[in-house]
Amino acid sequence: MIKIAKVLLSLSIVLSTVVMTSVSLQGQDIDLDDKLVAYYDFENVDDKIVPNKVDSTLAGKLIGSNVSIVDTKFGKSLHFANGEDGRMEIEQAINTTKQPFTLSLWYKYDTSFNRGGKKTVLLQQDGQGRTLLSLKSDNKYSSYINGQDVDSNKSVDVQKWQHVSYVYNPTTKQISYYVNGELDSIKDAGNGTVNSLTKLIVGRHKNGGNDPLSMRGDIDEIRYYHKAVSASEAKAIYENKAGVILFDELTSVLDEACQLVATNKLPFDHEAVLNLKSQIDAAEKLTSNSAMTDIRKMITLLEQAIKNYRQAIAINLNVDFNQVEREIDDSIFGINHRYAFNGYGSFDSETMKMKDEFSDLYKASNFGSVRYPGGTISNLFQWKGSIGDLSSRTKQIHGFYNNPNQHGITPSFGINEVGTFAQDMGSEIVYVYGFGRGSAQDASDLIEYLNAPVGLNPNGGVDWASIRAKNGHQEPFNVRYFEIGNENNQGGTDGTTSQQYWMQFVDGGAEKAYVDGGLVKINRQFAVLKDDWNKTASDSTGEANQKRYMRYANPNPMTGENGMELVNDFKAVEEGSVHVFVDGQEWTCVDSFANQTSDAKVYTIDYRDGSFTFGDGIHGMIPPKGKEIRVSYQVQRDGFVAVSKAMKETMAKIDATKECNIYSSYETKGFIDCMANQQDYYDGLTIHPYSGTPQGGSNNAELFYDSAMKLAEDNGIKHVENYVKMLPEGKVPVISEYGIFRSTDSLVRSQTHAVYIAKVLMEYVRLGSPYIQKHCLVDWYSSGADSLGPTQQAVIQAVPQEGSNTQTGEGNFKFFATPSARVFEMINSSFGNQIIKTEFDDMIQLDNGVNAYSSLASKDSEGNVYVALVNVERNNSRKIKLDFTGFDASNKYIETQTLAGASFTDENSLENPNKVAIEKDNFVNEGSNIEITLKPHSFTIVKIAAQTSVDKTALINELAEIAKLDPSDYSEESYANLQKAVADANAIVDKKDATQAEVDEVLANLQAVRKALEPVVTDVDKIALKIAVDLANKITEHDLENVVPAVVEEFIAARAEADEVYNDAKASQEQINKAFDRLAKAMHMLDFIKGDKTALKAFIDKVEGLKDSKDQYTQASWDALEEVLAKAVDVYDNPNAMQEEVNNVYKELVTAFLNLRLIPDKTLLEELVNKAEGLNLANYTEATVQAVNKALANAKAILDNPNVTQEQIDNAKATLEKAINGLEANINAPVDNTVNNGDVTVSVETGDNSLTGIFATMALLSIAGYTILKRKEN
C-alpha cells in the first residue's frame, strides 16, 4: 500500500512557492539567487501579467487565446493549448553578446499532438534575434543562436516532465546543455552573433506560423541568470524541484508494482514475485525528503523488478475468429520498383528480360503488387516514350533532373517490360502517373493503353490498345490503382529538391494548381534538350540549327498508326507568350529563316511540342558556344481533377464494372479541404510516413534501434492515424512508400529494419490502406546515397561487379535479399484475406514508451488462422498466449515462421546471404489455447490449420512400394538401414496421436534411406554407362530449350532408361550396352537445334495473303508456288524442324514467289488476228501470202497457249504485223471488186496503222526518194 504520509509530503512540496535562496548539494551550499535576474513560477499571475519573483522588472506578459494558467504538479503552470498564437513575452530582456547567461525551465510536452517532424520553439528572441532553444522531433534540444543549428547529444522522454538548463558564453561562443541536472554536451555555436537587445519569447517563434511549431503542453520554473551556471549549480537548480517529479514518478511506479502483484499471475513463491515484493517494501520506506539519488535508484530497481515479473508471465492475446475488421487483397503487401538505370541493374537491356537471379529473389518474397515507374523519379516520366522498340524510345527526365551528373535516362525497363514481369511474378501493377509532364488527354490515353481490349478504341484517335498488342501484349494489363504524381506537396528548388514542377509557377500557390491546374507563368527559365534537362546540357553548343525546349510545355497527344507523329494543330504553350534570351539578350521570333542574314538574332517556334530552333549561321545567327539560353512562356496546365475525370471516364467506357482508383499525391489537409465538393474524383490520399533519421548508428546500435522503434510509432504510425481522422468517409490512406528514411547507416540493411517494417505494416493494414508498398525493391549496395535517398533502404541489394556501371545500370550485378525482404516472404506466403480482431490484455512499454509487441491476425476461406507477432524488445524474449473466441485450437496442426537473427544488427551479404533467415517449426497443439515464446527483435507468424486430421497417405504408399523390393538385390547393410526406417515409419502409422510433422519427418527419412540402397554388384561393366549417365545428368532444362522436341523427348527417355539400368543390380551386359548406345545416340543429336522460323512465318503470311488474287497469275506459276507453300507450312508446323530445313524451304518459297507470272494481255493480238483473217489474200503475191498465213498460224497457237508469256505474245503480234505490212499486190491477178453476201470490206488495222496508211506512207517515201535522187543528180 502507498503511505498517506508520502502523499502529504508530496503536496507540501507542490504548494511551496518561495524562491529558495540556497540548497545543499553533496555537502556544498549553492546559492540559487546568485546573478538570478528573473524567476517565474506562475503562482500569482494577474490579468495576463506574470510577475518576476526576483524584482519588479522583466515581468512577463501572456499573449494569445491558447495560453493560460493551469494546475499541475508544480502548483500553477503556464499552459499552451493547440494553436499558433500563444506565448509569453518579456520586454527588453536579452542581448546574447553582452554577458554569459543561463535559461532553465521545466516542461511537459503534450504528446497527443502530432509534430509531423517539425521543431517546437521553447525560447525565442524577436527582431534580429534567433531561436535560443527548441525541441526537435527526435526529442533532442537545438539552438540557432548564432545562425547555425546546434543540437544536444541525447533525446529526452517527453512522456514525462523534463528539465533543461541552456547556458551560453559569448566569449567562447559555446552552448552547454544540462538535461535533468546532468551535462549533456558543450557545443560550438558558430560566429553569426546578433548584438541586439530583444524580447524573450516563451513558447512561440517570433514569426508565428506552424513551422516551427508553437509549444503544446505545460511550462514552469523558468529561471534566467546573467552567468553561465556551473555543473553543480545546474544540478542544484534541477534538484530544487526534482523531488516533486521524482517522488511522484516513484509513487506511480510503486502503484503499478502493487497492482501487478495483485494479479496473481505467477505462483507466490516465484523468484520474480519475491523480488518485486522486496522492492515494494523498500520503496515504501522512502519519502519526498529522501535523497534524490535514493529515489532515482529505487525507481530503477522497481522498474526492473516489474519488467522481470512481466517477463515471467505470458501476455494474453485475444483473437476473435468471428469479428472480421476488414478484407484485404492478395496484392496488398507490395514494393516500389523504379524504371531507371535498367531497374537499378535488375533488367538486362540486351535480352530485354529481368535477370534470373533477381527474379528468383523477387519470387521468394512473392510481392503482391509493384509500384511503377517509381516515386520521385516518376514525376517527369512520359509513358509514350517508354513503349515500342528500344531504339525508338525517348530518354526520360529524372525527378531531380538538375543534380550533378543527372542526365537523360534510357527507359529500357518500360511499361511493356514491367507488364511482362508483373504477370510472370503474379504481381499487380500500381501506376504512378507523371503529373509533372502530363495532361488529361495523355492520362486518358494511358488508361486505354493499359486497360482497353484490342478492338475497342473508346476515345477514337490513336488506337492505343492495338499499339499495346503490337508491342507484345494482346491482353490488357488491367491496372486499377493510379497515383497522380509523387509527393507533389514537397516544394524546394526546381530541378534539385522540389517535386512541384510547374505548380509552383501558378498564381494562387502550388496546392491550388495541383487540384485545379491553371496558367503557368515562366520567367527566364533555362531552356532544355528534349532528353536532358540538366543545366550543363542547356547552354549553346555553338552548332547549327540548335533546338531547345520549354520544360513545362503540354505534351502533344500524338497521332499516326503507332502514335509517334505530332498533332499539327496542337499548341503546347500559349501562342505569343514565348520570349527567348541568349546570354541575357532577347532574340526575335520569326516564321522562317529564309531571307535572314547570318548575324540575325532570330529563332523559330514549333508550337506543337514547345520547342524553338536557332539558325545555321548562314540564315540566322548561331548562339555563341557556352552562352546561356533562357526562355519565358506561359502554358495552361490540367490539374488533378481534370486528369482524374478523364481517366475515370475513359475506364467507364472500357468497362464500367471495373475499378479505376485515383489517389492524390498532395499529402496535405489543404488538398482534402479543396476536394470537399469534388469527392467523386479521388478515392484516397497517398501518404509516405517515413521515420525520419534515427539517433545513433553502427557505433551506438542500441540507440539506433530504440530510436527507430520510437520513430515507427511517432512518425510511421501516428502520421497516418492523423490523416485518417482528416479524410472524409470512404476515402482511404494509401501507404505507397514507407520505411527508415533518411539514414545511410548499414543498420538500415539489418534485422532492425525488418522489425520496423513488420511493426508498422500491421498498423497500415488496420488503418485501411488498399496496398502497402515498401520503398524500395532494389538499389546499389553502397555506404552512401543518391538524390533519391540512401541505397541501404532497398530490400534487395544490387552489388556491382567488375565492368558494371551504376550510372546506367548496364553490366553485371549480383543480388542478395536483406532481412526486410524476408518479412514479405513470410507474410505473402502465410496470411489470410480476412483481418480478425486481436487485443492484448496487457501492454508492456519499453523505456522510451514504445509498445513492446504488436499483432495482426487473419483467416482464409478454408478456415486457417494466421497470427503475426512482433517483439520489439532488443534483449528479452516474450511469452504470448493466444486465446481464441469462436475457434477451437485443440489438436490443431501449428506451423510457425520466425525472423530474428542472432542480433538485431545482423545483416545478410553476398558472402552470407542467409545470416538472417526464416526459422520454421511445427507441432500439434494440445490445449484450446496456444502458448509461444517470441524471440527478441523478432517477427513471427503462427499458422493454425483448420483441419485436425493428419494425412498419412503418402507414408502408407511409400511403405507399400518398399514391400515390393527384393532384399537380395541390395547390400545387407543398406537394406538393414531400410528395415529400421520401415519399423520407425510403421510405428508412426500406428500412433493415434501422431502429428503431421512426425509423419512428414519419418516419410522424408524413409525416402532418403530407400534412395541410399546399394544394389548388389554383379560381374558386369558399367563404367561407360556411369560416365554417360553422369554427363547426361549435368544437362539442364535450360540447355535443352533450343533443341528440337523429338530429340529432347528421346534424350530424356534414354537418360531415364540408362539411369534405371545403371541402378539395376541384375541388369545384364546386353541391357547395359543397349542403354549406353541409346543414350549416346540421343546425346549425339543434342546439336539438332530448333530452327528460327520468324522470317519463314512472315513470308508464309505474305504468300497466303495473295490467295484472293491468284487469278491474276498463270496457272503453272501459281501451282508451283502452292506446292512450295504447302511444304513450307509443313516445316513451320513441325516442332522438330532444324535450321537447315527452315532455311531451304524459305529459299524455295521466296524463289517460287519471285517466279510468279501475271497472266499476259492477248487483246491486241486477238484483234490483229481477227482483222488478218478478214483480208482478201487473193490480191497479193503467193510468197507474201504464205508469210501472212505462217505468222497467222503462229499467232493463233500463241492465243491457244495458257502458259504463254507476254514476250511471246508481243513477238507473235510483231511478226504478224510485219507479214501483213509485207503483202505485195498481185498485178497479174484480176481484181474482183464484187462484194458477196457475207463478205466484209474492212480497212485492216495492225496495231496503230491501217494497210491503207502503209501504202500511203510507201508512196510518200517513193516520192521523197525520187526527189532526193534528182537533187543528187543536179
The CATH number that applies at residue 792 is: 3.20.20.80
Check residue 948 and give its pLDDT: 67
DSSP 529: B
Q: Do residues 573 and 672 share a domain?
A: no
Domain, as residue range, for 1121: 1093-1154
Domain count, the chain: 9
Q: Where are the beta strands (DSSP E) in 170-276?
A: 174-179, 182-188, 198-202, 217-225
Using a 10 angstrom Cβ sphere, with 0-12 exposed, 13-18 middle and 19 or more buried, the burial of residue 1254 is middle
Mean pLDDT by groups of 10 residues along the chain of 1274 residues: 34 39 64 97 96 97 97 94 95 97 97 84 97 94 97 91 98 97 97 97 94 96 98 95 88 94 93 96 91 91 93 94 98 98 98 98 98 98 98 97 96 98 98 99 99 96 97 97 98 96 98 99 98 95 98 98 96 98 98 97 98 98 98 99 99 98 98 97 98 93 96 96 97 98 97 99 98 98 95 98 96 98 98 98 90 98 96 95 95 94 98 98 91 98 86 91 90 91 92 81 93 80 84 85 84 90 82 87 80 82 83 83 88 85 85 81 81 84 88 88 83 88 74 39 37 36 36 35
Alpha helices in 635-700 (DSSP H): 640-655, 669-674
Check residue 1088 and give its pLDDT: 76
Q: Do residues 580 and 605 share a domain?
A: yes
Last residue of a domain, one of 924, 947, 970: 947
Check residue 781 and give its pLDDT: 98
Backbone angles phi, psi at 1059, to 5 degrees: -65, -40
How far apart (Å, rounded) are the C-alpha atoms in residues 130 and 148?
10
Residue 868 sits in a domain whose CATH number is: 2.60.40.1180
Last residue of a domain, one of 947, 968, 984: 947
* Strand, helix or coil for residue 773: strand
Q: Do residues 1100 and 1077 share a domain?
A: no
Q: Do residues 796 and 935 share a domain?
A: no
Check residue 1132 and give its pLDDT: 86
Closest CA to 987 of 1010, 1003, 975, 976: 1003
Query: Which tens digit of pLDDT belongs to each residue from 1124-1181?
Result: 889 889 888 888 888 888 889 888 888 887 887 778 777 887 888 888 888 888 888 9
Closest CA to 651 of 694, 616, 683: 683
Q: Do residues 614 and 682 share a domain?
A: no
Residue 1233 lies in a domain: no
Residue 1169 lies in a domain: yes
Residue 126 lies in a domain: yes
Last residue of a domain, one of 898, 918, 947: 947
Give the pairing type, strands 150-151 and 732-735: unpaired
813-817, strands of its sheet edge to edge: 778-780, 796-800, 813-817
Residue 246 lies in a domain: no
How far apart (Å, rounded) are the C-alpha atoms in residues 528 and 388?
25
Q: Do residues 210 and 108 share a domain?
A: yes
Give the end-to-end CA distance of the chain in Å, rounded to a whole number: 163
Closest CA to 548 of 618, 619, 632, 617: 632
Q: Which amino acid is at 1007?
A: Q
How far apart (Å, rounded) are the C-alpha atoms in residues 591 and 569?
16
Closest CA to 1049 of 1061, 1059, 1062, 1040: 1040
Closest CA to 73 of 254, 242, 299: 242
| Kind plus residue range of the DSSP H or E element containing 1269 | helix 1251-1273
Check residue 1272 and give its pLDDT: 34
Closest CA to 821 of 331, 363, 348: 363
Q: Do residues 983 and 893 share a domain?
A: no
Q: Do residues 765 and 659 share a domain?
A: yes
| Kind plus residue range of the DSSP H or E element containing 629 | strand 629-637
Q: Do residues 929 and 964 share a domain?
A: no
Residue 157 lies in a domain: yes
Q: 1240 with 1173: CB under 8 angstroms? A: no
For Cα atoms 135, 140, 146, give the angle at the middle one, nearest 5 degrees: 70
Q: Do residues 567 and 677 share a domain?
A: no
Residue 1247 lies in a domain: no
Residue 48 lies in a domain: yes
Q: Do residues 296 and 234 share a domain?
A: no
Check residue 1046 and give its pLDDT: 85
Q: Do residues 332 and 458 share a domain?
A: yes
Closest CA to 741 of 754, 758, 755, 753: 753
Residue found under cell 495483485? 262
Residue 1267 lies in a domain: no
